[in-house]
Amino acid sequence: MEKELVVEIIELSNLGAGIAKVDGMVIFVENTCPEDVVKIEIVKQTKNYAIGKLIEIVTPSKHRVTPMCPMQKVCGACQIQFINYDYQLELKKKIVEDYVGVNRDNPKINVLVGNTIPSPQIKEFRHKIQYPISETKNSKRLIAGYYKPKSHEIVNIKYCPIQPKLCDNIIEYIREIASTYNVSGYNEKKYSGLLRHVVIRVSSDTGQILVTLVINDTKVSKNIKHFANDIFNNFDEVVGVCVNFNNKKTNLILTDNTELICGQDYIEEKLCDITFRIGSNTFFQVNPKSAENIFKYVKNYIKDNFDKPTIFDAYAGIATFGIVMSDIAHKVVSVEENEQSIKIANDVLKINNINNVELHAMDTAKYLENTPEKFDITILDPPRKGCSIESLDRTLKVTKSKIIYVSCNPQTLIRDLEYLISKGAKVSFIQPFDMFSHSYHVECVTIIDVE
C-alpha cells in the first residue's frame, strides 16, 4: 500500500474512527466523518487492516460542522463533536445495527433497532466531572483536564462546553489558589505530588455542587483543610467539599475512603419526581436528563403491559430503577453488592416515603442462586463488562415474563442477548439512547420475552 493516499470515508467504526477501504483493505482514520474525502498517511499496516493519519480534508462531508470546543482534536472526550448532531444519532443507531449484524446475510440477532432518542441537552449535560491533576515542570502550576487520546498526557482544559460553566470556574480557582496552600499536582510516573484528581458532582435539579479532592495521602493536613474551606467559601453553589484518600499505585480514581471536610457529603438530584442523594463515589448517570428519558421509557413500557408487577432490580447501584418503578409495582427487590450504595438507596426510600422496595447488599448472582422468589420482570443494568453466564441463567429461572436489559456497551449486550436467545428467550426490539453526546458511546434498552 502506498504511504500517502486520498480516500473516501464510507462509515464510522464502533470506536468513532472513520473507515475507508482500498483494494479490500480496511483503513481506520480518526477525526473523519462518512463522506469525507481525505488525504492520509499510512502509519500502520497489518494483514487485516491499516491505520491512516489525517493529513488534509480534500472534500468535507456535508455532515461536518465546526466543533463547539477548540480542544476537540486533542482532548479524548468528544470524539465526534465535528459531526452534526442529527447525524451523530444516525451513526449511533448504525453502531448498534453493526453489532447486531442487521445488514448481513446472517445477522447475530433478528431484531429491530429503533432510532436513537436524543439527549435533551447537547451542551452542559455532563454532571459528573473527573479531572486528573498534574503540574507544569518549571512553574509548578496545576494542570487539570482530560487525557489526550491513547495517552496519559493531560490536556489543560480551561473551557469544556459539555459540562456546566461553573465547573470551569471551580477548576480555574483551584489552579489559582493551590500554591497558596502548598498543594502540588500528582506525578503518576514518580507517584509523587499531592492532588491526584478533582471530582465534581452537579445537580441538574438544584444546581448544588459537591467537590471531592483526591489526594496522594492517608490523612488531612492543615493545608488541605484550609484549601477545601477556601473552595467551599468562594462558591455559593458548593454545598460540600470532601477528601478522598488514594495513595496506591493504581489508575483507580476514587477509593472507598472519603472524609467530609466542610458542608455536606451529598447533593440532591431529582429524577421522575423522586429525590436522590448523590455522594462522591455514588454511581449515578452523568447525564441526568437523558437518564430520565430511559427511566420513563422503561416505566411506560411496564405500565402499558403490566398491572402492579413484581420487579427484580439487578446490579441496582443506588436502586434508581427500582425506586423509579416502585409506584407502578406491587413489590421491587433491588440487589447491589456495594454496601454504601444500598445505604444511600435506603436513605432515598425514607426521603420519598417509599415502602415497597426491598434492598439487599450482595452479589446479584449469589442472590439469584438462593432466592425462591419469581418475578414478573427483571431489570438488568450491569457494568460495561455485561452479565456473567451464571447471572443470565439464574435470571431466566426467576423471571416469569420479561427481562429489560439496560446496557452502556452494545458489544457485551449482543453477546448476552445471543446467550439468552440460545436458552429460548426472544428479543424483538432494541432502543438506543444518546447518553454521551459527541462521543461514540450509546446506551440501549432491550425488551426480552422469556415466556
Range(s) within the chain of domains with CATH label 3.40.50.150? 65-123+287-451
- Measured between alpha carbons, how far is 351 from 276 in angstroms, rounded to an integer? 8
Q: Phi and psi of 378, rounded to 5°?
A: -115, 130
Residue type at position 265: D
Q: Please say if the pLDDT value at position 269 is more than 90.
A: yes
- Cβ–Cβ contacts within 10 Å for residue 413, how many? 27
Q: Which fold has domain 65-123+287-451?
A: Rossmann fold (3.40.50)
For residue 354, the number of C-alpha atoms closer than 13 Å in the C-beta half-sphere is 29
Integer Cα distance of 72 and 64 in angstroms: 14
Residue 388 has pLDDT above 80, yes or no: yes
What are the residues whose beta carbons fall under 8 Å from the beta carbon of 41, sequence distance 6 or more?
A: 3, 4, 52, 53, 55
Cα–Cα distance, 70 to 358 (Å, whole number): 48
CA-CA distance, 146 to 129, in Å (whole number)? 10
Residues across the chain: 451
Please tell me the predicted confidence (pLDDT) of residue 104. Answer: 79
**Residue written as grid cell 430520565:** 292
Closest CA to 445 of 433, 428, 435: 433
Work out the percent of the chain whose per-residue pLDDT is above 70: 100
Residue 76 has pLDDT above 90, yes or no: no
Q: Quick one: how many helices (H) and strands (E) in the chain?
A: 9, 23
Residue with the larger pLDDT of the pair 104 and 441: 441
pLDDT band for position 54 (cuts 50, 70, 90) = very high
Could you tell me if 389 and 396 are in contact, meaning their C-beta atoms sit under 8 angstroms apart?
no
d(C-alpha 284, C-alpha 294), whole Å? 13
* Fold of the CATH domain 128-271: OB fold (Dihydrolipoamide Acetyltransferase, E2P) (2.40.50)
**What pLDDT band is residue 73 in, cutting at 50, 70 and 90?**
confident
Write out pLDDT tens, residues 275-328: 999 999 888 889 999 999 999 999 999 999 999 999 999 999 899 999 999 999
Catalytic-role residue among 69, 242, 408, 444 = 408
Does the pTM surpass 0.85? The reply is yes
Cα–Cα distance, 275 to 269 (Å, whole number): 6
Give the per-residue pLDDT at 283.
85
What pLDDT does residue 183 have? 97
Q: What percent of the chain has pLDDT over 90?
A: 87
CA geometry: angle 149, 154, 159, nearest 5 deg: 95
Active-site residue flag, 69: no
What is the spatial distance between Cα 356 and Cα 325, in angstroms, rounded to a whole number? 10
**In this predicted structure, what is the pLDDT of residue 451?**
74
Q: Predicted confidence band at 102 (pLDDT cuts at 50, 70, 90)?
A: confident
pLDDT value of position 9: 98
Distance CA 243, CA 198 (A): 9
d(CA 145, CA 149): 12
What number does CATH give the domain 1-62? Answer: 2.40.50.140
Q: Tell me the per-residue pLDDT of 192-233, one tens digit each, with 9 for 90 and over.
A: 999 999 999 999 999 999 999 999 999 999 999 999 999 999
pLDDT higher than 80, residue 103: no
Q: Range(s) for CATH 2.40.50.1070 in the chain? A: 128-271
Give CA–CA dist 188/194, Å, rounded.
11
What gap in Å lies between CA 305 and CA 22, rounded to an integer? 50
Q: Identify the pLDDT of residue 325.
A: 98
> pLDDT digits over 9-39, tens only?
999 999 999 999 999 999 999 999 999 999 9
Range(s) of the chain covered by CATH 2.40.50.140: 1-62
Position 340 confidence tier, pLDDT thresholds 50, 70, 90: confident
For residues 359 and 335, give the distance between their C-alpha atoms in angstroms, rounded to a whole number: 6
Distance CA 260, CA 107 (A): 52
pLDDT of residue 278: 92
Closest CA to 238 of 203, 278, 283, 194: 203
Give the per-residue pLDDT at 77.
87
